[in-house]
């Protein structure tokens, strides 16, 4: 059973703080993704990574950065949190190498920036 | 750019009736079309998917149809039950740029409400 685990379920941070959201998967997946979910806007891709140390910008990368030092871990970083980054953040992973396969999601982190 | 449109945004049906959710995609090179269900407070989970070499796929009460010419695909749920209440997302794969991998582009979601 694939497990994608996000470090926090709920997080409250202050404006201007540096925020780290961590995601770990245990199935040796090549691809990992960070999405932001807001009502009526679906799942918007922030960044994805298809290999260690590789990353690509998604649709809304502004204000975010990522780190993938190990295959199983993909971190999302908010360099200076702002109130408009209050949202639900979902991490996902999937097998890679050009194969279209199922994406497995973490439980989500609801981030509130005050 | 690549785009997936999903309709309707909210769908309310009587228990026992059928529900249909439709998605259209922009890139004719898309070849993989999954549907995810997200129950309240839970993570999205795959419920059914279809690849471009197939026109229809069924799994018990759910089915997906694909029309490649028109670039649209639909989720059909028959004999709806209260546990079908959730948000449903469609997605379409888009070919990789350079050395990257295929990406999924997501629809905005449909909130399905099953009325008792």
Closest-CA residue in chain A for B96? A98
For tokens 């199983």, the residue is: A72
The answer to whether the CB atoms of A43 and B106 lie below 8 A apart is yes
> Would you list the DSSP string of chain A?
---EEES-SEEEE-TT--EEEEEEESS--SEEEEEEEETTTEEEEEEEEEETTEEEE-S--TTEEEEEEETTEEEEEESS--GGG-EEEEEEEE--TT-----EE---EEEEE-
Query: How far is A7 from A5, CA to CA, in rounded Å?
Result: 6
Chain A residues in contact with B51 by the CB 8 A cut-off are 100
- Give the strand pairing for A104-105 and B72-77: unpaired
Q: Give the pLDDT of residue A50.
A: 86
Under-50 pLDDT residues of chain B: none
The answer to whether the CB atoms of B43 and A45 lie below 8 A apart is no
Instruction: Say yes or no: A114 contacts chain B, CB-CB below 8 A.
Output: no
Q: Give the pLDDT of residue B31.
A: 86
Hey, CA dihedral for A15, A54, B33, B24, is it positive or negative?
A: positive
Phi, psi angle pair for A88, to nearest 5° = -95, 130
Query: How far is B37 from B91, CA to CA, in rounded Å?
Result: 12
% of chain A with per-residue pLDDT over 70: 94
The answer to whether the CB atoms of B104 and A103 lie below 8 A apart is yes
Q: What is the mean pLDDT of residues A20-25?
A: 97
- From the CA of B116, how many Å to the nearest CA of chain A? 25
Q: Give the pLDDT of residue B74.
A: 98
Provide the β-strand partners of residue A79.
none
Contacts of B69 (CB under 8 A, 6+ apart): none
The answer to whether the CB atoms of B32 and A100 lie below 8 A apart is yes
Provide the β-strand partners of residue B113.
B12
Q: Give the pLDDT of residue B69.
A: 92
Q: What is the mean pLDDT of residues A72-83?
A: 97
Q: Give the pLDDT of residue A77.
A: 98
Model confidence at A99: pLDDT above 70: no
């Amino acid at each position: 059973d694939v497990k994608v685990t996000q470090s926090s379920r709920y997080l409250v941070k202050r404006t201007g703080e540096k925020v780290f959201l961590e995601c770990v998967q245990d199935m040796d997946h090549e691809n990992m993704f960070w999405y932001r979910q807001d009502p009526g806007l679906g799942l918007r891709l922030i960044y994805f990574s298809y290999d260690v140390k590789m990353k690509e910008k998604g649709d809304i990368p502004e204000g975010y950065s990522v780190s993938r030092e190990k295959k199983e871990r993909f971190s999302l970083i908010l360099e200076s949190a702002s109130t408009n980054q209050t949202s639900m953040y979902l991490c996902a992973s999937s097998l890679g190498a050009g194969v279209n396969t199922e994406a497995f999601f973490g439980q989500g982190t609801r981030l509130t920036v005050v | 750019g690549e785009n997936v449109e999903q309709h309707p945004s909210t769908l309310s049906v009587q228990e026992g009736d059928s529900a249909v959710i439709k998605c259209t995609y922009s890139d004719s090179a898309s070849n993989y079309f999954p549907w995810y269900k997200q129950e309240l407070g839970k993570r999205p989970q795959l419920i059914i998917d279809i690849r471009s070499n197939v026109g229809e796929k069924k799994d018990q009460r759910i089915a997906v149809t694909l029309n490649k010419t028109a670039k649209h695909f639909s989720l059909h749920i028959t004999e709806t039950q209260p546990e079908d209440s959730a948000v449903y997302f469609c997605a379409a794969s888009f070919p990789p740029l350079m050395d990257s991998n295929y990406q999924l582009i997501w629809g905005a979601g449909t909130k399905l409400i099953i009325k008792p």
